[in-house]
Amino acid sequence: RSRSIDEIFEVIDTIIFKPFNLKGLSIETQIYLTALIHDKNIWKKLHRNTRARYKKILETHQTSDTDYLGLLKDLLKHERPRLENQLAYYGGRIDKNSFQPFC
């Protein structure tokens, strides 16, 4: 694999396996958010006001010191031309003799 793909997997592994940092919130809020993060079906059982309250907390609370969205956007911006060429190649829009998909 190319170095950029390894970087993407490293970021994904960090996002998926890094536990949520809910310190600084009340115990009740931590329990709600932990349950909601791990079982999405619980959202359906909550009243809409409660759902809105905890969803807002979850969206605004910083769970990590790293801005993963920014990292992914920068990586995508850097890799976009190559990825578009690969998609065009695999979609048959580029002559198979003129493009090397794994360079």
Q: Is residue 49 part of a domain?
A: yes
Global pTM exceeds 0.85: no
Determine the average pLDDT of the residues in 77-103.
Answer: 72
pLDDT at 16 over 60: no
Q: What is the DSSP string of 21-68?
A: --TTS-HHHHHHHHHHHH-TTHHHHS-HHHHHHHHHHHHHS---SS-H
Domain of residue 29: give its range. 3-65
Query: How far out from the chain centre does Cα 95 lie?
Result: 33
* Residue 85 is assigned to a structural domain of this protein: no
The domain tally of the chain equals 1
Q: Evaluate whether residue 98 is within a structural domain.
A: no
Whether residue 80 lies inside any domain: the answer is: no
Indicate whether 102 pLDDT > 70: no
Domain membership of residue 7 (yes or no) is yes
Residue 21's pLDDT band, with cuts at 50, 70 and 90, is: confident
CA angle, residues 72, 98, 95, in degrees to nearest 5: 90
